[in-house]
Amino acid sequence: MSHRHFLIHKPYGYLSQFVGEAKKKKLGEFHDFPEGIMAIGRLDEDSEGLLLLTTDGQMSEYVRSKKVEKEYYAQVDGQMTEDALNQMQAGVEIGIHGEKFLTSPCAARRLDPAPSFAPRTRKIRDDRHGPTSWVSITLTEGKFRQIRKMTAAVGFPTLRLFRVRVGDIWLGDLAPGAVVEVPDFGL
């Protein structure tokens, strides 16, 4: 059997799944995907960006392993400090399903200038609530809402979150909701 692979720019407000709660928006609304398609990893309903889809379970396992980097851009509340970046780079303690977890060391840096993503369908907030900043965080692990919990742990809650890269695959200028079939992921 030949496997099929897709890239999708998951917009805000969609689940990273094809079946489930009837009232929730799901990925199947964007394309007529083949039977057996699965999202590799997940982006929560409030997160946006690059999501890989495949019919190959072994590829899914490989991409979700600690061998493949995932890079995220996060807009955070306030001006991210060097100290906070250093804490995230070294690893911070976060809670996962009621248990404490120390994140693995990661790459974290400020993004200046800020990335130019399309405005979100639901406004985040306005300038009277204070400044925001953007950071890049690159992980090889992927715990439940990990980026959001890491930025909050160092005092800068995440307001908007994009996955921009998985391995050598970049989101680039793929529009929200756009789907591209690829022959393979090249990972």
Alpha-carbon distance values, 38 to 5, 22, 55, 66 (Å): 10, 18, 6, 19
CA 88 to chain centre: 17
Which residues are designated catalytic?
44
DSSP label at 12? T
- Alpha-carbon distance of 169 to 50, in angstroms, equals 9
Question: How far is the C-alpha of 71 from the C-alpha of 142, rounded, in Å?
Answer: 11
